[in-house]
Amino acid sequence: MSEKPILQKLALLADAAKYDASCASSGTVRRDSTGTKGIGSTGGMGICHSYAPDGRCISLLKILLTNFCIYDCRFCINRASSNVPRARFNPAEVVRLTLDFYKRNYIEGLFLSSGIIRSEDYTMEQLVEVARLLREEHRFGGYIHLKTIAGASPELIAKAGLYADRLSTNVELPTEDGLKSFAPEKKPQTIRKTMANVRVGVEDAVEARKDRLLKKAKPPRFAPAGQSTQMIVGADGARDDDILASATSLYSGYRLRRVYYSAYSPIPDAS
């Protein structure tokens, strides 16, 4: 299979990332001036907005590393059985795009998610490598939001927290029964264990920070913007009460900064 040009990959993988709700701005009407004498579009994908810990609204390049996936979650356009064009970036390509867009002042950071390729750890390693290259090789000081892959090893989550500002693990659906029916390869315990690893990392860093500040040493870093999650609403039969109960338990159990709700949008060939 021949390699796609980077701009073609960008078009596919920015579009595929639009289902990840992490954006502070949304909900407007769809307008598109492409092919007319007008200017601007509300339908474009690829750049989303988020709030930095100090309250600033910042623009992020929002893409997937790949939309290949070995899982077959029924609500997801990127599931293994979906008939969509596929693409995959290597870490160096994501780094190049991020730096190029940053230098042109289009973005202030990166939101990076991915389908699962080979294994949870292999995928997480690739995501961490992007963040490592940005931070260590290029001294990138912009915002980085990484999706964690549920089930990735605690060591990889620890590394991700070292480089990312925010980490998020998708809970996907409000109830365990919903997950069992529509994403049988995803296990609620695995998702929660990954969230717990992030919570421990954030809390340890806060404690160590207090200690180091007392000793005037450089404080350790772990996802200073905390963790968030996304819940798809409308794909299963969850009631409002289920959704609220799930959100409450996530906020209190894992100290989430935010639960994002994403309205299920019917996808081609949905079962």
CB of 66 to ligand SF4, least distance (A): 9
Binding mask 45-84 for ligand SF4 (x = CB under 6 A): ------------------------x-x-x--x-xx-----
Pairwise CA distance, residues 79 & 92, whole Å: 25
Q: Which is nearer to ligand SF4, 167 or 205 (CB)?
A: 167
Give the chain's end-to-end CA distance (angstroms, integer).
Answer: 29
- Interface with ligand SF4 includes 116 (CB under 6 A)? yes
Which residue lies nearer to ligand SF4 by CB, 91 or 115? 115
User: CA 77 from chain center: how many Å?
Assistant: 16
| Nearer to ligand SF4 (CB atom), residue 67 or residue 197 | 67
**Contact by Cβ (8 Å): 153, 194:** no
Q: Is 21 in the site for ligand SF4 (CB under 6 A)?
A: no
Report the nearest approach of ligand SF4 to the CB of residue 124 (Å): 13
**C-alpha–C-alpha distance, residues 194 and 201, integer Å:** 11
CA proximity to 181, closest of 83, 271, 77: 271
Q: Which residue stretches of the chain are H helix?
A: 6-16, 91-103, 120-132, 154-163, 176-182, 188-215, 240-254
Q: How far is the CB of 67 from ligand SF4 (least distance, A)?
A: 7
Q: What angle do CA 100, 22, 183 make, to 5 degrees?
A: 115
* Residues in 218-257 at the binding interface with ligand SF4, rule: CB under 6 A: none
Name the residue nearer to ligand SF4 (CB basis): 41 or 189. Answer: 189
CB-nearer residue toward ligand SF4: 183 or 256:
183
Candidates 82, 41, 48; CA nearest to 64 is 48
Q: Which two tokens stand for residue 247?
A: 């959100």
Shortest spacing between CB 75 and ligand SF4, in angstroms: 7
Our CB check for ligand SF4 shows the closer of 61 and 73 to be 73
Q: Is residue 167 a contact point for ligand SF4 (CB under 6 A)?
A: no
Over its C-alpha atoms, the chain yields an Rg (Å, rounded) of 18
What residues make contact with ligand SF4 under the rule CB under 6 A? 69, 71, 73, 76, 78-79, 115-116, 183
